Structure 1
Amino acid sequence: MRVASPALAFAAAVAGIAVFSGMDAIMKGLVLGIGAYSALFWRNLVGIAVSGVPYFARPRPKLTRAAMKLHASRAVITAVMSWLFFWGLARVPMAQAIALSHIAPLLALFLAAWLLGETVGRRTVLASLVAFAGVLVILAGQANTDMGPDAFRGAVAVLASALCYAFNIILMRRQSQLAGPGEIAFFQSLIVAGAYALGAPWLADWPSGFWIEIVGAAVLAVVSLGLLGWAYAHAPASTLAPSEYTAFVWASILGFVVFGEQLSIWTVAGAVLIIGGCLWAVTDRAAMPVAEAALP
């Protein structure tokens, strides 16, 4: 594997997050138009073709059982995570949803402690309280702006999605060491679409008039997966983790430009606490091994 500089890997991760944020904006419109289940089913179905063409067009390393196990595990978690996130995203502003989802890296530290036996330091515990305070600030902002019970359910769904994403963080680094970006993107689309296909006859609607958005979302999802897969293959998760927080900036811009969503002071304050808590936690010496815990 050609060695890349940490700066280049970080730039690729930031680009991947920016592209993914664009996909989020398209998906929010799709969910509002045809529902979360239909939007995700058709996007991943199209994603099989979009990711399959480059994957099969070039020589590929032999698919290993270990890699396939990780593809399946991560894809199943992704199927649940995606539905929760996009169902919630349709009910809350983009910036708020992304701010809440930023608690995932901190949750990953505790999951790594539980699943991998890593040590959780005192600073991590205190940082988790800071981040949790950020969640409460955002939810308090919802109450003050009277967004209604549907918005609260959306926020809860985003938080549940963040828990799933924390599992994904644990798997991502190991997966990127066993498979290339093209393989990761193809099998994620294939397995996630297969999972949604189980309920498609009853839950998926035909997306008349939405095909351009579906194809666009599929292309952006595959490009983002490729960029992030490449970045995580060339730099440790501890180096790349801060790139996740640029999503709040992209979501704020896209939410305002595409949906006319105003950025509330409650969301900004909550995001600062969540992001600050997560960054404080990952600088804890006792928590640092978590970033490399998923290495084979």
Structure 2
Amino acid sequence: MRAEEDSRAERAVSRDPRRLVGIALMCVAPILFASLDATGKRLAAEGVDPLLTTFMRYAVNVALVTAFLNPVTRPGVARSRRLSLQVVRSLLLFGSTACNFLALRSLQLAETVSIQFAAPLAVALLAGPLLGEWSSRLRLAAVAAGFVGVLVIVRPDTLAAQPAMLFSLGNMLCYALYVIVTRKLAAHDSSATTIFYTGLAGLALMAPLLPWIWSAPDSWQVWGMLVAVGLFGTAGHWLLVLAHAQAPASLLAPLIYTQILWSVLFGYGLFGDVPGAWTLVGALVIVASGLVLIAEDAVARRRTARREDGKAGSSEQP
């Protein structure tokens, strides 16, 4: 009887139109993120300083966020219980973005995004000592395999020929720590407060450097691309938030890996870049490892839910 009820509940959930909306939004977000990277690479080719691109990324983001989330329209939004952590989180995201734009000057889109997708593996590894979320043997095996995929891409000979790989690794590490700090903040501050502070520290850090990195764009096209990096990044993260409000994370998480496909297509169509065999092999290993983590996490959540349901059912019996 219980199995039939669970089966009917699962079928009802699978027909929920909100899940389809969430999937659609999650399919668009990676396109925006790939567009962000492609625009950053194009700006580097136009001679724009990657740090200026980083500044514009956050200037546009902060302007858009502040228009909707500010102490006037949302009283108390700037009040943080862990302000120091908010600053650290914002700086980590700034470091991730700056490293990514610096790497894109000489690396292919497929290379940078493949290394970036090792961040969930680093999170799984660091979550134990930093958050107390220790991984199972299966998760540790997936993490180890994923880092082998990174080594396939960042081989010693490739690193010697392309030192910019170090920037891509820095991007991955900063983003992994950013995710961990975000998890810690979830227990102290609201999501609105965290979003409000997301770009502020990076913008504050870059503003004093602006006189040394500023170079007036020589065309409206370059101006448009500088604004676009902020629009693509802000819109992409906004769609992620909307998608997760419509569908469970376990359903949406695998779709983020479609960004690799879009990066390959944009890299070939816009820059004539053809990913090497080692890059493709490494990317496949990283994606496979990430999918194992997602599947294992979904199984663990279902087990926890069943245990809680069982305890609730036993407590209701006379």
TM-score, normalised to structure 2's length? Answer: 0.76
1:18 aligns with 2:31: yes
Task: Tell me the equivalent position of 1:200.
Answer: 210
Q: Is the 8 A contact 1:120 1:287 kept in 2?
A: no
Instruction: Return the match for 2:276 from 241, 264, 284.
Output: 264
Deviation of 1:273 (Å): 0.6
Asked whether 1:249 is paired with 2:276, we answer no
Check whether the contact 2:32–2:233 (CA below 8 A) recurs between aligned residues.
yes
What is the match of residue 147 of structure 2? 132
For the aligned residue pairs, the C-alpha RMSD in angstroms reads 3.2
Q: Give me the whole-angstrom Cα distance separating, in 2, the residues matched to 1:164 and 1:240.
A: 23
- CA–CA distance in structure 2, aligned partners of residues 71 and 19 of structure 1: 25
Counterparts of 1:65 and 1:189 in 2: how far apart (Å)?
15
Q: Are 1:165 and 2:175 matched, yes or no?
A: yes
Unpaired runs of 5+ residues, structure 1, are none
Q: Find the partner of 2:109 among 89, 94, 98.
A: 94
1 or 2 for the larger relative contact order (CA 8 Å, sep ≥6)? 1
Q: Secondary structure at the match of 1:62?
A: coil
Q: Does 1:104 align with 2:119?
A: yes
* In 1: Cα distance, 2:44 partner to 2:190 partner: 33
1:173 and 1:233 in contact (8 A); partners too:
no
- Distance in 2, matches of 1:184 and 1:280, equals 29
**Counterpart amino acid of 2:282?**
G
Between stretches 192-201 and 4-13, larger displacement belongs to: 4-13
**Partners in 1 of 2:273 and 2:82 — Cα distance?**
41
Equivalent position of 1:275 in the other structure: 287
Match of 1:74 in 2: 89
| 1:120 matches 2:135 | yes
* CA 1:148–1:279: 2 relative to 1, 3 Å: closer
Q: By how many angstroms is 1:272 displaced? A: 0.6
Does the Cα contact within 8 Å between 2:100 and 2:167 map onto a contact in 1?
A: yes
Bigger Rg, structure 1 or 2: 2
Matched with 1:52 is 66
Percent identical pairs in the alignment equals 26
Mapped to 1, the partners of 2:161 and 2:233 lie a distance apart of 27
In the alignment, the residues of structure 2 paired with residue 11 and residue 258 of structure 1 have an alpha-carbon distance, to the nearest angstrom, of 25
User: Aligned pair in 2 of structure 1 residues 285, 238: CA closer, same or farther (>3 Å)?
Assistant: closer
Match status 1:31 vs 2:41: no
How many residues end up aligned between the 2 structures?
A: 281
Opposite residue 47 of structure 1, the aligned amino acid is N
Return 128-137 or 96-105, whichever deviates more: 128-137
Correspondence 1:230 to 2:242: yes
**In structure 2, distance between residues paired with 1:21 and 1:67:** 32
What is the distance in 2 between the residues matched to 1:125 and 1:185? 31
* In structure 2, C-alpha distance between the alignment counterparts of 1:174 and 1:6, rounded to whole Å: 28
**Equivalent pair of 2:29/2:239 in contact (CA under 8 Å):** yes
Shift of 1:173: 5.8
Q: Match of 1:121, as an amino acid?
A: S
Letter in 2 for 1:207: P
3-state SS, counterpart of residue 198 of structure 1? helix
